[in-house]
Structure 1
């Protein structure tokens, strides 16, 4: 087993389908429901809910990005566990599809007052599309 250095902590990002990441990192920034938060080695333990958005982490000189959906984060001094419905790396994102989803969601949101439109669902679709587009752009 590799020796853990005090400048890193274990990051795990997990969806119901797969383990996305399990590696030592120096820093994590995640989209909490009350705003983005950062995590560093030795961080005070806490749990929080996550919203749709961009998750970033640093490993060595590289900053890496994921798009994540709603979920939970458990932070401990030596480990952060991110449990989300979906997570995607930049290379897994179909940018054209994300752009089309953004347009569809914006059209739905413009029809405010139309009781056949689920506005919360349309807003979530827009948030998802914007996060996917931002992460895809960072990874290219």
Structure 2
């Protein structure tokens, strides 16, 4: 099976690195699925979204990402996020509280709710 090198890096640290068969991400122009040998591209990530990496060996890795870009050169996919959090490290109850407390009457509240929902998606929690 074909593989590609994937590096997901946040400003403060490398979040995940390895070989993968597929990556799903939400960009500013829509959702994208990337397979090995995908045509070269650069895309802006949504402000609050979830990236799913299907490694060559093992279970899918879900990551909440907040802003940034991805770049594919055909052999290697690099995801540069402003912030990122692995799904298995997310405090689900705190994210649910953040979502429930968010005041969607203003832009800051809508952004807070979107961040909480991205964290819940990465943690494998269905939206309510």
Q: Return the TM-score normalized by structure 1.
A: 0.81
Select the residue among 91, 94, 97 that pairs with 1:94: 91
Structure 1 residue 92 displacement after superposition = 1.1
* 1:120 has 2:116 as partner: no
In the aligned structure 1, how far is the partner of 2:90 from the partner of 2:59?
20
* 1:57 has 2:53 as partner: yes
Structure 1 residue 22 displacement after superposition = 1.4
Q: Which of structures 1 and 2 has the bigger CA Rg?
A: 1
* 1:25 has 2:12 as partner: no
Unaligned runs of 5+ residues in structure 2 are: none
More helix by share: 1
* 1:135 has 2:117 as partner: no
2:24 is paired with a residue whose SS is strand
> RMSD between aligned alpha carbons?
1.5
1:17 is paired with a residue whose SS is coil
More strand by share: 2
Alignment length (residue pairs):
123
Number of the residue aligned with 1:75: 72
Number of the residue aligned with 1:115: none
Divergent runs of 4+, >4 A: none
Q: Return the TM-score normalized by structure 2.
A: 0.89
